[in-house]
Structure 1
């Protein structure tokens, strides 16, 4: 792969517009740019989660499977960003959605049924996984808002939805494998 950027700044966005891969210029708050930004933010948070998992892996070998499953997700999120930036481009395939579903099913079987609402916490690692989950939901909402204006591929929408599900189950799995108690929601006392 050759060089893709010869300059980091171009000054073409100084007036509030940005270019898409198809040559269109759109406002920086266009729903397509919002969706790209949310997917990028998720990718950054996922990168932090993967770094934290790698730091803990030596002490908790059960985390290596999570790294193996989640690492490709960063690349697929970059693919999704490409699809959003270049509307005619399609990079994601149904096999990626199926890969996430298989991991969800495997991990969910290990953690067992959810018997109460849980809160993001218990450890930094579990909380970071929930940050990724909530960021995935935000990215999904932005993609759905764009989809209402300019239809997106069904696989892309399914992928971002499954990724948030995967991250929820991953948070529970991390807690279980690291022997951390999940933080259970406690309803406010009735007045």
Structure 2
């Protein structure tokens, strides 16, 4: 199988099932940004997370492939896995588990701390962008989108926030507090 096919040279790409769409189609933006998020998770995993967080993020990477496949496949197709309540439940359980080991958040924090935590925060912001693309896709009246995807991405960004805090806590590195201009000059 060759990596190049030449089928996208005219600015179109194929969805699963054969439909051709422009490469700037809302659906392509949505699954492309999901793929970008997955790559950011890979960078975070390569940045020195402990084994527990690495295992959680490994599962998230696999789930993000399901999100991408779901988004790249309009309509019904028996061979394509779909995002379900099970993936959302996994994220919620993971958030609850991680929050139980963290001190309560009493102020806004900036993305940072350890390199791994900063990369997880980056994945969070990319996830939020993917979520915005999915909202646009859903609002497009001709588009069929699994409603579980939007819930999943919303919960995933929360998971990333908590996972970034956990990465800092497990490395004994404090979160970076936001110093608002008012409190900084006082």
SS of the aligned residue for 1:26 comes to strand
Aligned match of 2:22 in 13, 17, 27? 27
Provide the C-alpha distance between the structure 2 equivalents of 1:99 and 1:76, rounded to a whole number of angstroms. Answer: 10
SS of the aligned residue for 2:13 comes to strand
Aligned match of 1:162 in 155, 163, 171? 155
Aligned residue number for residue 135 of structure 1: 126
Give the CA RMSD over aligned residues.
1.7
1:154 positional shift: 2.0
- Structure 2 regions of 5+ residues with no counterpart? none
Aligned residue number for residue 14 of structure 1: 9
Q: Is the 8 A contact 2:120 2:163 kept in 1?
A: yes
Give per-residue Cα distances to partners, 1:58-106, cap 9 Å, x unaligned. xxxxx22111211111111111111111113442221111011011011
Provide the C-alpha distance between the structure 2 equivalents of 1:47 and 1:126, rounded to a whole number of angstroms. Answer: 13
1:126 positional shift: 1.4
SS of the aligned residue for 2:101 comes to helix
SS of the aligned residue for 1:179 comes to coil
Aligned match of 2:68 in 77, 81, 96? 81
1:109 positional shift: 2.0
Residues 26-175 of structure 1: matches in 2 within 5 Å? 26-53=21-48, 63-88=50-75, 89=77, 90-149=81-140, 150-175=143-168
- Structure 1 regions of 5+ residues with no counterpart? 1-5, 57-62
1:147 positional shift: 1.2
Provide the C-alpha distance between the structure 2 equivalents of 1:14 and 1:35, rounded to a whole number of angstroms. Answer: 21
1:7 positional shift: 2.0
Question: What is the aligned residue count?
Answer: 178
Aligned residue number for residue 59 of structure 1: none
